[in-house]
Amino acid sequence: MASVRLRFLRRKCGVINLEDLDSFMNRLASGSPAPGGGAASALVSVVASSLASMVSALTINKKGYEAEKARMQEIEKTAADTSTRLRNLMKEDEAAFNLIVTAWGLPKGSDAEKARRKEEIEKATLVAINVPIKIARESLAILEMASYLTARGNKNAITDSACASEFAMAALRGSLYNARINLKSISNPDMRTEIDAKIRMILDTGLDLYRDNEGTVRKMLA
């Protein structure tokens, strides 16, 4: 049996440091607003990517799936790379929130200070929007992998690819909620419209993949 204090961050990856699951969950459950839903969504997506990697590994060299070997090896590597990026995005999401807090705390006594504060808040808000959108894009990639794995991967692991799809979709939705809530703080209406369209496109694409995969799973389990 694995240790209770499971390491979900096995090594230093970019800006992110080693942190065990208990530590992250304790911070998530605390009264601090960060980490929050964005980082949690990224963690859920890490779980999804790990499941995708597992299903591909269970298919490689499996009798009857010889024609899928190269594609499964590609998915296994892609899933691992996606997981690494998501782990970094967990930390980036937390840092983005702290940027907004810092910007809101800037002085606003003079007109020059007010103008600078407004500019810094907007810059920080854009970061706080872009990071969860990145998490959503990574989750979208996992949904694509999960769909292929359900259709062409080891049939004995179909519920695992189904779970990868479920978790990736939850992460995609959650991260986009965290992007959308900050839209109202963007003063430029054209920029708001552009970002909103991007969010809608990612969500719609994700829903299409998720629903198709769900339909395939239901048929195979019937």
pLDDT in tens, 117-157: 999 999 999 999 999 999 999 999 999 999 999 999 999 99
- pLDDT value, residue 40: 97
Q: Which domains does the chain have, with CATH numbers?
A: 35-221 (1.20.120.680)
| Phi, psi (deg, nearest 5) at residue 5 | -90, 70
Q: Which two tokens stand for residue 94?
A: 């937390």
- pLDDT value, residue 19: 60
20 strand-pairing partners: 7
- Distance from chain centroid for Cα 41: 5
- pLDDT value, residue 13: 33
- pLDDT value, residue 32: 87
Handedness of CA 51, 52, 53, 57 (dihedral sign): positive
- pLDDT value, residue 45: 98
Q: Which two tokens stand for residue 101?
A: 């807090």
Q: Which two tokens stand for residue 74?
A: 């590609």
Nearest to 86 by CA among 16, 170, 169: 16
- pLDDT value, residue 168: 98
The secondary element (H helix, E strand) that includes residue 200 is: helix 189-221
Q: Which two tokens stand for residue 146?
A: 């999960």
- pLDDT tens by residue, the chain, 222 residues: 333 333 333 333 333 444 688 898 999 999 888 899 999 999 999 999 999 999 999 999 999 999 999 999 999 999 999 999 999 999 999 999 999 999 999 999 999 999 999 999 999 999 999 999 999 999 999 999 999 999 999 999 999 999 999 999 999 999 999 999 999 889 999 999 999 999 999 999 999 999 999 999 999 999
97's CB contacts (< 8 A; 6+ apart) are 33, 34, 36, 38, 128
- pLDDT value, residue 192: 95
In the block, residue with structure tokens 């998501």: 86
Mind listing the pLDDT tens digit for each residue in 76-87? Answer: 999 999 999 999
Nearest to 213 by CA among 151, 141, 157: 151
Nearest to 41 by CA among 146, 174, 177: 174
